[in-house]
Amino acid sequence: MALWVITFPAVGVFADAPPPSTWVALKALPHQGRTAIFALAVDPANNQVVVAGNSAGAFLRSTDGATTWTQVYTGKATPTVIVFSPFKTGVVLAGTRSGALLSRDGGATWAVTNGLEGRVVRAFGFARTLIAAGTDKGVFVSPDGSSWSQSGLAERSIDAIAVAAVNPPVRIFAGSDGPQSVGNLQLYQTIDGGATWTVLNPPISGTFVVELAASPLPPNSTTRRLIAGTNAGLFASSDNGASFVPLSGGSVLPSTDYTRVTFITDHFDRFYAASDGGGSRAGGLWRSNDAGQNFISLDPPMPSITALAVSNDESPTLYVATFRPTDHTAALWVYRDTGGTPLSPFASPSPAASGSRTSGTSPGSNVFDFLNTSQAPYVAIGIAALLIVLLALVAHLRGRRH
């Protein structure tokens, strides 16, 4: 009985966190349907708080590691990006296809911002004194995320934003989409918080910039590394965009579109790169521990990554949305990266339920739903341990009779 008392509390502790380096399937978002999820974010102060946007324009929030969800906002525009502020606790911004929303309580409540109405908002970048937004009509800036004003590049459609100097004078990079009138792909830079912009012409492949990410400051340096993901590859710069070196094109990292780059805590040389593959099977999720010299595939259950959120931990928790174009299967996964060899999921993702169909719950459905959760293997271990204890107890009683 003492073993039983010890075993079950231990099972509860392990069930609170995902198993190390193992893909775990999560239940689909309510009313997710078969549309890909393009917006996910995790609170940097609490890796159990996750915010997601579904295709119907609703925002959902989880406080238990994406196990259960509560709808916190109902809108009509599809979310494109959700980002927690790295400087102000509880501040979250969300971009949609017709504007932006702001939360000051970690995503529990939301309000429409002023100045971005009707804009397609695709990216945010945070400095200590201002926030930048990339839209279909250039870059907008705001001191706190509630009211926005045009900063520049109004003739360009901006897909990506990265802040490379967070203190004044603020340095911001912006990447645009669409065909270019010049031979090389263009980036834009401001070194005065968006008052003026200059054009960069880095010799990197692609026709538009999908993602930009600035690293934490390297030791003994005043220049952050800049990672640029285009629709044709991944590239890095250590001189504020003056030159870039290719990171993709080898046997490990394919030359495809990279939709998300996220650095790990305060490490300038550790980051994740995700790709949806542009509709092919070339997508995936990779980690670099040495500033992009080498990459390790995390072998996601589905290769097309449509959204990624990474917690602010040394062994981060990754929340990953995938999409399978062949049958339009959308899925959610969680992965705690402890550096080990990636293991396959314990359970397959639950089929996404149609948002237009409602039905009663059968008596056995809760049992089968539980069997598809990440806690099921641990409870099974606990039950097995209990059976062993009971068998030992029976054997002991029989021995005393003899």
Query: How far is Cα 402 from Cα 177, in angstroms, rounded to an integer?
Result: 83
**Domain for residue 367, yes or no?**
no
Whether residues 217 and 330 share a domain: the answer is yes
Whether residues 253 and 389 share a domain: the answer is no
Q: Quick check: 245 pLDDT over 70? A: yes
Q: Quick check: 400 pLDDT over 80? A: no
Cα distances (Å, whole numbers) of residue 139 to 185, 188, 329 = 18, 10, 34
**pTM (two decimals):** 0.81
Q: Quick check: 126 pLDDT over 90? A: yes
pLDDT of 43: 97
**Of 141, 244, 243, 241, residue with least CA distance to 198:** 241
Query: How far is Cα 121 from Cα 218, in angstroms, rounded to an integer?
Result: 30
Question: How many domains does the chain contain in total?
Answer: 2
User: Tokens standing for 300?
Assistant: 């996601």
Least confident stretch, 194-198, 342-346, 358-362: 358-362
**Domain for residue 135, yes or no?**
yes
User: Tokens standing for 286?
Assistant: 């990779």
**Domain for residue 6, yes or no?**
yes
Whether residues 111 and 202 share a domain: the answer is yes
pLDDT of 184: 62
pLDDT band at 333 (very low <50, low <70, confident <90, very high): very high
Residue 228 or 398, more confident: 228
Whether residues 136 and 153 share a domain: the answer is yes
Average pLDDT of every residue of the chain: 83
Whether residues 291 and 218 share a domain: the answer is yes
**Domain for residue 303, yes or no?**
yes
Query: Are residues 268 and 218 in contact, defined by beta-carbon separation less than 8 angstroms?
Result: yes
pLDDT of 38: 85
Whether residues 29 and 1 share a domain: the answer is no
Q: Which helix (H) or strand (E) holds 329?
A: strand 329-336
Whether residues 276 and 402 share a domain: the answer is no
Whether residues 333 and 281 share a domain: the answer is yes
Query: How far is Cα 225 from Cα 161, in angstroms, rounded to an integer?
Result: 14
Whether residues 217 and 195 share a domain: the answer is yes
Q: Print the domain residue range for 3.
A: 1-18+374-402
Chain centroid to CA 311: how far? 9
3-class secondary structure, 293: coil
pLDDT digits (tens, 9 = 90+) for 20-76: 999 999 988 887 777 778 899 999 999 999 999 887 788 999 999 999 999 999 888
